[in-house]
Amino acid sequence: MSPLLPKTWVEVSRAALRHNALQIRQALGPKMVLMAVVKSNAYGHGIAQTVRAVRGQASWFGVDALQEALEVLKVAPRSKILVLGMTLPTWMSTAVRRGVRISVSSPEAARTVPRGAIIHLEVETGLTRQGVGERDLPTTLRLLKKRGARVEGMFTHYANIEDTTDHAYARGQLTRFLRSLQIAERVLGAPVKFPHTACSAAALLFPETHFALARVGISLYGHWPSKETLVSARGAKRVLALRPALTWKTTVAQVKSVKAGTPISYGLTERMRRAGKIAVLPVGYWDGYDRGLSSVGEVLVRGRRAKIMGRICMNMCMVDVSGIPGVRAGDEVVLLGQQALRPGSGQGRGEITAEELAGKISTINYEVLTRINPTLPRILV
């Protein structure tokens, strides 16, 4: 282990990100624009690291806030960036000055847009989240024209395209979106240049959702949006060879021998069933290693699984390494990702996936990845 590395860190594979971006571009076809969604610290992977890796494949980047857009511009100053979340009126002039696209999702937001803003109008089609309803759409478009803004794009989000193999609701949303595009063309006097609806699931499954641009997030990082999406992709023969790009690592801080019956961690919730060894790891729920993994999670030590013992602490947790010979302080531990059975040998590999961790804490792979503490170093490898 390099002496320059911290005690807990994240490695991001440049090759995996580029591979996934290329796979997605090939699936989309040559006429579509790929927007790499790098909001929420690039789904935990690090904005700067991800942009550096994929800027040759993605010409657009999607973020949630202007602050994230400014991070992208530091790495890729000529890139096209769309803020998908709200932009406060006090930040809009900065967005215009830096050439960042702004999304508008209500008539009230349209009234605050400065002259010269490049707008992507978000329309409500059935998610019941941000978005202009069909009834308010003509008024909102006229407001934007009056204020001297340019409506470059129009978009929506699907409410039920990942979690089901029945996509009737999504098709209904698509129909409503097409109707909104017709309204926009009548009000603006010309077609919207960049309509877009395709998230990862839609981009991989439904060519009819592609339009001019696809907003791809979770699949860019090597993960299927859901089991149902993968099932649907197999049925449609649209399965891509995605490669997870993130490996989350820590190191063994201490190894101690413990007797049978010894309680481990706060609350005395778990005891050693037999005499053995415990490894203390300097990572806890502050780092994003979910407390729900207490007593059920596993990590990789020397390529073999070691069970979390007792409650996960704020900055530490303990694992049972009784059956793994030779474990000592300083050994590398993988919390998420792959590890060779003998570190450095490459012979045989264990793996902990984001999907496995999500299943143990009753959530989704998105949350597991994005909740890794953003202050932990991201290292592009």
Residues taking part in catalysis = 39, 266
Q: How far apart are CA 99 and CA 82, in angstroms?
A: 10
At 336 the three-state DSSP class reads: strand
Concatenated DSSP letters of 249-318: EEE--EEEEE-TT-EESGGG-EE-SSSEEEEEES--GGGT--GGGTTT-EEEETTEEEEEES---SS-EE
Burial of 26 (0-12, 13-18, 19+ CB in 10 A): exposed
Name the residue among 91, 90, 157, 94 with its Cα closest to residue 120.
Answer: 157
Q: How far apart are CA 48 and CA 379, in angstroms?
A: 10
At 348 the three-state DSSP class reads: coil
Residue 376 corresponds to which amino acid?
L
Note whether 197 and 170 are within 8 A (CB).
no
Indicate the angle between helix axes 47-54 and 66-75, nearest 10 degrees: 50
